[in-house]
Structure 1
Amino acid sequence: MAVECVPEGPDLKEMGEEELWDLINDNRHRISLSVRPCVLIPYLRQARVLTEVDEDEIISCHNLTNRCMRTSYMLDLLRTQGRNGAVALLEGLMIHYPNLYTQVTGRKPSTEPSRFSGLIKYSELTEYLVRAVTGMQKELQEARCEANRMTTRCASLESEIGQIMEQDEKSRSLQAENDRLQRHLISLQREITKLKDEKCELYIRFTAAIEEKSAVSSRLHDLNLQVYQLQTDLQSTQTQNEIQKRRSLRCVCSAETPQLQEEVRSLRCQLAKAEKLDPARQDILAQDLAEAIDSQVELAEQLQCYREENEQLLREKQGLLGQKECLSLQVQQLTLNCEIHQQKNNVIQNQMRELQTERDQAYLYRDEAQAMIARVLAEKDTLRCQLVELQERVFSLQSKRGARDQRQSSDSSVSSCEEFPGRRRLRRMDALNPLTLSLSNAEFEDPAATSVRSRNAEPPSPESLRRREEALYADSGPETAETDCLLDDFVFLPSVRSEDKLASRVCSSGGSRSYSSLSRTSAPPFLMRSRPKAIRVSGRVLGISFQGAALLSQLAVVGGNKTGVFVHKVTEGSAAHTVGITPGAQIVEVKCEQNQKALRMVLEDSTLEEAMWALGQVTGICHLSLRPRQDDYDALLQQLQSNETASGDSFYVRVNVSLSAGLGGTLAVSCSDILHVTNTRPAGTEDVWHASQVHPCQLLDLQSGTVPNYYRAQRLLIRAIEEINFQTKKCQKTGREVARNKQKAVRIVSTGRLGRNPLWVSVEDDKTSSTETDASSAPKSCVTLMPYTLVTPHYPPVCRPILLLPTVLGRILDKKLAGWQGFQLCEPEVLSPTEHAARLQRSEILEEGEQGGNCYTLQGVEKVMKKGIHCVLPLGLDCVRRLHRFDIFPIIIFIGQSTRSARKLRQKLQRHGQTEEQLLTCSSSEEPLLDKLPCLYHSVAPDTWCDQTSLLTSLRSIIWEEQKKIVWVEPDLW
């Protein structure tokens, strides 16, 4: 008989409608956080305060994005039902959330929830509870049947594990031989590279010798030309000398001859006679003499002209001869250069032939390796097929044996079955731990869906290998990976600390007690090793469970998100040392119990800081998933010792809050700066990171220092927001305006879900109860304000598109900018309805055009980009994310506006039917949306240009600068 609860608060039956709802509204926040609508709705519909339409609206409405919003909306609907809604809500809390009911009403839950409301009769409530209990019993029975089937299958597969292990050993030997051949091939490639370097050095020396020889030959040719010129001048001088000698000899001989003397006498006589002639005769002779002298002067002038022409022709002849000599020298030089180029081409062709030979040989090695991999995969597929056939045979034999045992059952068993219809007849099973049945039921699923991984004999691609590795070591999680390695080595213990005696009793007895002895209301069970150092290998992941109290004092870790987190040191005599943990193993996953909840923390991609935080949360029994990676661990230690790296962390973040420089090498950063974080746990510090500023055009680290870590920077971000809010209010009180062109101090970035990010570790609760399956639909808790955002670099190979904002001003400047060389405006396309629907489904439509049927498509942008020019986009901000999906990263330029700058564009705005107020409104509405973009943008201050011409000139220089920069893109946080 149920014991009556002593009321500790006011009697709900005597309270009125307003008092009940005041009581509920006072605890509305607590109810919204704790209550799941899907749990209370069946009872509320039974009480007829909610309808089926209300249920669909609460659960399926897209505006209600989380559980708290759905619960609040359910309370609003119940408020319309008046007192009946309040009473029904409290009765539902009494049934499903008794602790919350006590906190809200101050009364202990009663065994008869309908005694004060009259909404549901006691018989109807009993029927409702009976149906619920019956459904839960059916689910429990089905779960037990599934556990029995899983145990039977595991027993049948144990005989096949040995053969698979042998095949694994053979594959390992083949892998070792392949590694040896690869190392030998690498050594040969190194020798070939060394020989190539020596050959290149000899070729360089040979080329230098050829060039030196060419220079000496050219100098020798110049000297020969000088000698030839001197010889020619000597011969001409000698010839002139001979001519002068002959003339002088002729003159001497002619002067001494008597004939000449007689002529001279006769001429003198005539001259004397002429002097005795009359004056008339003398005048005639004088006139004739004058005419003869004039004719001789003319002839002398003509002769002088002819001589000058002759000398000019001789000079031209000498110039042509000199040009001829120069051309002949150039011909010889070109011939020599041609021979040198031919020799170089021959050498390069020989090298190309050698490279082709080496490439063909490498292709041959690759084909052989792929053929070997395909052969191994084919063998594995054959073995898997044989395994499936054997499984089917075993299942058929087991079904036949079960039917035969059922036919041979005695009458006593029949009577016992009639007395207890929910139990099966006891029969002998294989030698397995009975608690492993509950293990299979509670945490593991059927691995048949993943038993055959490959069905092709073709060599896998890198993407296929990555997916296969994730499926083997990550996606399997607590289902398949731990089933193989923990069935024989672990037993279940309740996670409630008050049952330590029961845990020790289970460990000492080897798991002889059944799972039914454990409390159903306790936290999810935990694993404990039934014998020391019982490690089973599942693929390349080791599962180890031990007492992990003060885990950081038992072992030390190194590494980070780039290399992985490795065990570095293990304290001798500790529990970690006892179970066989050694340095060099990568910590993939940590499972522990906290506040009576089983937590699962993935450390495969976490930073060193987050890994140490996660390991510090372990206070009791824990389970570590380790992956042996001794070679990678040795390489990391060598890099740490040689100071090549400070840790295993390496990722890039975008800063969302301005931080000033401080003492101890603190780095001063501004909002939207890019940092390369290389160490999240520097020596001796816990709340700082070591980071470096990144070159805007190259992936190079510049000035380095320390910055606050994620959680400390988050507090600084909140403080900066509070200071900005205070300053804004103060300026509003004093009537002053904050300058619009002041540098931005913070950038508000929030996330709607907890993604895989090296800035925090992934912590999940292991939900095992069937009543909590609906919790998967609720979003996980996450940090909304993000001081740092993870970014990845991208290198656009072609000219990036241009997007000018605000859109009102962009429509004016787009055509002006497209008129320049190297720019082209994106034109809309006219698509048929079928093609429009197809492209819209593929997200290839960027924006709808102003005219009906026109739209801007991805193909139109790519068509302009293929020409090697910038595509000017007359679009809005919505096209940015669509372009990012296809790895197209536009240059976004926002032109800040003020009243004064808008006045400069008054005439341009009026031509396009716009006003200054519309421009300012558009600018103020689009500027806050820029911080939501996943990439950086460039902002132009309104006081840096005076007219449209200067603005376009500055835009062109900005585009050239932005084209050279690296594009940093954030992940999609929503």
Structure 2
Amino acid sequence: MAEESVPEGPNLKELSEEELWELINDNRHRISLGVRPCILFPYLRQVKVLTEVDEDEILSRHNLTNRCMRTSYMLDLLRTQGRNGAIALLEGLMIHYPVLYTQVTGRKPSTEPSRFSGLIKYSELTEYLIRAVTGMQTELQEARNEAGKMSARCSSLESEVSQLMEHEEKCSHLQTENERLQRHLGSLQREVTKLKDEKCDLYIRYTASIEEKSAINGRLHDLNLQVYQLQTDLQSIQMENEFHKQRSLRSVSSSQTPQLQEEAHKDILQQDLAEAIDSQVELAEHLRSYREENEKLLRDKQGLLNQTEALSLQVQQLSLDCKMQQQKSIVVQSQMKELQAERDQAYQSRDDAQAMIARVLAEKDTLRSQLVELQEAVFTLQAKRSPRPRLRKSGVKEISWESPTSSSEECPLPVRQRLRRMDALNPMSLSSCTSESEDAVPSSIRSKGVEPPSPASLRRRQEVFFEESSLETEDTDSVLDDFVLLSDGSEDEQKPRPSSSRGSNSVCVSKSSAPPFLVRSRPKAIRVNGRVLSLSLQCEALLSQLSVVGGNKSGVFVHQVTEGSAAHAVGISPGAQIVEVRYEQNSRALRMVLEDSTLEEATWALGQVTGFCQLSLRPRQNDYEALLQQLQNSTMSSGDSFYIRVNLSLPAGASGTLAVSCNDILHVTNTRPAGTEDLWQVSQVHPCQLLDLHSGTVPNYYRAQRLLIQTIEDMSFQTKNCQKAGRENTWSGQKAVRIVSTGRQGRNPLWVSVDEENTNGTESGSPVPPKCCVTLMPYTLVTPHFPPVCRPILLLPTILGRMLEKKLASWQGFQLCEPETLTSSEHAARLQRSEVLEEVEPGGNQCYTLQSVEKVMKKGLHCVLPLGLDCVRRLHRSEIYPVIIFIGVSARNARKLKSKLQRGGQTEEQLLACSKSEEPLLDKLPCLYHSMAPDSWCDQNSLLTSLRTVIWEEQRKVVWVEPDLW
């Protein structure tokens, strides 16, 4: 049953080299973790895919600090051997790691000689095994001798160990005290943070109280003014009442005066009391209404603030939509301008061709009429000098302009005369044939019209010209060197005209023998191929005769041409885009494509051209003028525009050099700034949008490559010093360098391609493929991607990720990826289509598939991936870009997770080893990842809180992906 549960994978002999290495790269993480290079070295040397020099390089290279990195570097060396390297690796896994061989290939291991691929014969394999056993016995004896020496040495080291134990106890006591002090310091820091928060809250409340107090004071001031006004009015009324009362008292008799005064005094007091009560009630009512109005204004203010926030969000959304629409309209307008330019150029070319054809036709008709008159005179003289019976006896049929011929006789075949050099035109002689009427001359000979011929007529003339050109002599070839064939014709067909009669004789001109239109051109021929012109010229240094502007975004244009140079003589003018250049160097024909090259590449490529060369140009005058306008307005510094990922840290320097860190994304806007030759003008990119931030310069590719090599040498020297001093390198979240090689391409992928053309003219003369070359890359090209849905989550190291996955999946907006149960046939089919991400158990039917991840993403949730690094490239092929988070682990963090590790049957040492082995593999990924420092979390709760923040930040960022260098 166990044998039947292992699915039968594809036959390795039937797979191509790319398919074999794709299968190995998909399981690169698993192979790097599970394979020891020293075990596979004997077999790989036996099949001659690795040498002893390669083995020494893998084992003794200073930058390969652990086994996983050495295994990964061994895979890179085997990749250079092509198919043999892949087959040898899989056979080595089948011999020494049968379980891993089954996981990688999906096939059961077999030790039968017939199942091997043929890299090593059975007799050689037996001999190899005998030598291996002998070598192992020798190594065993040496190991035993070494063990005796070590046992003697152990006795001498026991005393030192006891001293170290005492020192360790003292250190542990100090460490415990230090941890206690750090915990106390952490509690004090938390209390200080709480006090700061309370202080901020009190400050906010105090500010609100001050604002409220100022508003109330303003209201009270207004009320006091109103009270003062009322008091003033009251006093004036009281004075008026007193004046009236005094006048009334004077008129009253003296007997009634005391009583009236008392009554008047009472009435005045009552009236004053009532007015005072009414004024107080009115003031209280005003105060209450003002308070209600204040509360209403506060509520309206809060509502307006909320509405303002909503409107600001809408404004941001509308601004983004407006920018997108503006970009679309700009693209459409540029396309419309290009179409209009092409249309105007086509109309102009058609008008020029029609005018030229009309002029040539007029001159041709004039020459034809003169030729006909001369032929008439010649034939008349021949008829007078030679009698007719003699001609008949000689068997030659006479062609005369004077004697009629039978209407049943066919016109003789036209006789084409050789070309003769003339001043402006070189018309070819016309063929004549006899007809019924001598005076009937066709309109094509004596026509005075200027209508151009039809395209079909021009095409037929061109075919006749090329058929008969091979029969011409050297004189004809020398004449044709000074002419160019015009293949453009008019859309209007030439209308036939009735012929005029001249007695009984007529002259007819065969259309098939009509000469093509030849016009004298420049010293070298111009071949028109669509909208691309091919120019050939002989020059000592091409770059000294012209200058260029532009770049990979706009194209490289000719900017200036030296007067009187060879480039100017062949017709090169500003505004033409350089598409391709061909030249010879050291008896080799080379071709360089400059259509998508940068300004630095184009300048270097044109500087290599000496001697005879051929340029392919595309006329784009409107685009060239638009580029010059943008350069003058400083909206662009050049026509270059591409994004790179930096693989080393560079400090800031003089003259505006930017300080960049490893894994930064830069936007290159000019590869050849004014006054510099080894710098690029770049801008830092916003992490969440395609916006340029700070601008400056960085070293160009080759100068940065030298700095990268120097940095690696300095790091290796520092590492050796630390090892000699007994110190270990601590974890650093910011890397100094990132090791990336060009692989099998053998050249810089950012540079222009130089192809060697086949000059032998036979199939066997195909160019030799370039040799394998591995070079360090300081910059790598990247392209932006904007995932439309929630990105999956991948936590590393794997052991710690398994502990946090269930906690993370329990949050709102997250869901754990569930495995699927597949049959053997379904498993084999999905494995062939790279839809199987990882198996739950080796050889089992349950596996994590691409469909299960897409199912969770369609719900708008983050899919938590319980997988390793091998799944990243498979997800990228389906345009799924996960958030990769590497959690830094130290010994202190590992002790905090000791109880949880023991529940899963794992130890702290295994967690630290897993973290140390998986961290170097992150540099092999084609995308960015986020690293969390070990000191950023102290327990599981703080780690989960930090993870939520990190995931939210990574979801907003732009995803930058590198191309596959292999």
Q: What TM-score do the two structures reach when normalised by structure 2?
A: 0.48
Greater relative contact order (CA < 8 Å, ≥ 6 in sequence): 2
Higher helix share: 1
